[in-house]
Chains A and B, each alone.
Chain A
Amino acid sequence: MSREFFLKRYWKLLTTPAKVSMGVILAFGFIAGIVFWGGFNTGMQATNQEEFCIGCHEMKDNVYEEYKSTIHYSNRSGVRAICSDCHVPKDWTHKLIRKIQASKEVWGKITGKIDTREKFLDHRRSMAEREWARMKANDSQECRNCHNFDYMDFSEQSSRAARIHGKALFGVDGKPATGETCIDCHKGIAHQLPDMTGVEGW
């Protein structure tokens, strides 16, 4: 059982054709690929459902209750934005990254990091800040998936909204556009805000 003998045997194994035909191996690989890839994406899809998110009481009793009174839950036209529409990116790569990051939340669930209202409130500022930072970094992409500046008709907005949106987008009174992103102003639109002491602009 020398080292040389082991390597030789392994090399032989790799270079000898398999007993089953190439076609069978390919077919098996193809089907297995579909099953695993499909299963993986179905899993990602399943964890994007509202029912999944509020499956834990931490979400159901806190953020979901607050969200229920907002326009993203119920409105005149019935178009909604559920949890994942705002909190999970749409494109595949970023979605995968977010899902991996979210696995840390499973640990939080197990250790009971926010399992009471008091713990949740204590922790709210840091959770909110994380989410603000994420949205600022990707230029509020999840907002813009629906609220696209390019197709926003400012003439349909109230005069205040139109003026302030204009300031951010193309600048008014000869000043350049401030280039602010949605989350810079629209904080706490779907959940209650934490103590805002020291938050920029408050």
Chain B
Amino acid sequence: MKHTTSLKSVMAFMLAILFTGMVSAADNGGLESLRSDSLELEAPAQAMKKTFENDGVMARDFIQQPPLIPHDIRGYDIDKDHNSCLRCHSWKNASKWGATRISVTHFYDRDGKQLADVAPGRYFCVQCHVVQADAKPLKDNGFEPVDSLK
């Protein structure tokens, strides 16, 4: 095992020497990664982020934004057998749990045809609706919601 490792590192070192002549490692045309880490190095993994638990509904930033999930969804499966989200958010169950009902738009398929239940294309909730974590944006963002949403 050790032997293989040293052989590999020797080969990597030789390759590195070979390529230094052609392209200098630091010479990447002034490109910078979003996290301002060096592009040649793999950045250390960040700590896991905690999911926000909000009491109410989270504000939206633009008109068509899918509402955000204000609670943890660990272990809430969505598969062919069941949908853990609809367990509380379906029209049938929402009032019992005091949960938000899914929008009526979810009962229309992509051709605008009205269906009796949630359209298959809308079944996988977390494709659009996501939890929010306590994570600082990697880049400053100057986006402002329109006045009517503030």
Contacts and interface: CB of A to CB of B under 8 A. Distances in A.
A163 B98 contact: yes
A193 B97 contact: no
Interface in B23-71: 53, 55, 71
Interface of chain B, helix or strand or loop or mixed? loop
B2 interface: no
A188 B77 contact: yes
A103 B81 CA distance: 30
A159 interface: yes
Main secondary structure of the interface of A (DSSP, over half): loop
Given A158-B53, A188-B77, A202 B82 contact: yes
B93 interface: yes
A201 interface: yes
A195 interface: yes
Contacts of B3: none
A164 interface: yes
Contacts of A71: 74-75
Contacts of A202: 82, 87, 93
Contacts, number: 34
A29 B97 CA distance: 61
Interface in B73-88: 74-75, 77, 79-82, 87
Interface residues of B, number: 16
B101 to A, nearest CB: 16
B74 A159 contact: no
Interface in A144-169: 158-160, 163-164
Contacts of A159: 55
Nearest to B70: A160
A133 interface: no
Nearest to B81: A195
A41 interface: no
Nearest to B98: A163
A193 B97 CA distance: 20
A126 interface: no
A50 to B, nearest CB: 20
Contacts of B53: 158
Contacts of B87: 201-202
B58 to A, nearest CB: 14
A165 B84 CA distance: 18
Interface of B: 53, 55, 71-72, 74-75, 77, 79-82, 87, 93, 96-98
Given A164-B98, A188-B82, 13 more contacts: A70-B75, A158-B53, A160-B71, A188-B77, A192-B77, A192-B79, A192-B81, A193-B77, A193-B82, A195-B81, A195-B82, A202-B82, A202-B93
Closest 4 CB pairs of A and B: A196-B82, A195-B81, A159-B55, A193-B82
